[in-house]
Every structure is written in structure tokens, then in C-alpha cells.
Amino acid sequence: MKNKFHFQNIATLTIAMMTLSACDSVKKTFGFDHYQPDEMNVIDNPPLSLPPCYDLRPPEKKETTTSVSSANNHNQKALQVIAGNQPHQKQAAAKAVSTQALVKKASLAHNVDKDIKEKISEDEKLVEEKKSLSGVGKKMMDNITNLSNDEKDTQK
């Protein structure tokens, strides 16, 4: 009984949807109408207007930041003189040391083993052998399977 009413409800809804979808106003309301605008009928918008005073102002000079940074520079120089540090000499020495270290690392790159690809492939083969059965275990399994195959052949 329920199935009959259920079927009637579905049939009624389907017929109602088909009837309503035929109406243009319903199509437009639910967005089923695929209206594409005509490419030749384009609405012209008025041109954009510029404000009356469009001239760019020159950038303002900010003297407060330069005076603060120059004061910091003077303070740092004064501290270096008091402490007896020579910043230019230390920076030059640090640059020389870092340059030497860079050259040393670059020169080590030329002393590369030429057989490195072969060594890597050998290492990969060893790892694969360890992942699967070991060489001895594999040979034993081969022997066992060969023996079982030989026994089957002799039994036939």
C-alpha cells in the first residue's frame, strides 16, 4: 500500500516538474534558461572621470627617520672607538676567512671518485638482496623447489 502511494507521489512530482519546466517564467526564475547575451548589443558605459585635482604631489621628505638613523650611526661609531674595535678590519678579515672556506669547499668538489655510480648501484643491489630473501636462503628455496619439481616429474 505504501509503495503505491510512494509511486503516485513520485509520478505526480515528476509530471509537475515537467509541466513547470516548460514555462518560460519558471525557467527564468530557477535559472534553467541559458540566456547568452548578444555580442553585438553591448551597452556603452560613460567614460571614467578623473578627480579635478589629479596632479601627483611630490613625496615628502622624512627628516625624522634620517636623523634617528644618523644618530644611531654616531652612537655605534662612538662605542667602537671607546671599545677600541676596528670594524672595517674585522669585516675584511671575516670576508677573507669566509672566501677561503668557500674556495676550499669548491676545490673539494673536483676530487670526486669517478666510479661513484657503480658503487651506488652495488650498494642498491645489496640493499635489495637484504630486503628479499638472503642469498643463501634464496639458493635453498631454489633447491627445494627444484627437488619438489624433480619428485613430481619422477612420480609421473
Confidence of residue 76 (pLDDT cuts 50, 70, 90): confident
At 128 the three-state DSSP class reads helix
Distance of CA 1 to the CA centre of its chain: 59
Q: What pLDDT digit, counting tens, does each position of 10-55 carry?
A: 999 998 888 777 777 777 777 777 767 777 777 778 777 776 776 7
At 73 the three-state DSSP class reads helix
At 98 the three-state DSSP class reads helix
Buried b (16+ CB within 10 A) or exposed e, 102-111: eeeeeeeeee
12 near 20, Cβ under 8 Å?
A: no
Confidence of residue 139 (pLDDT cuts 50, 70, 90): confident
Enumerate the domain spans of the chain. 1-33, 116-156
pTM over 0.85: no
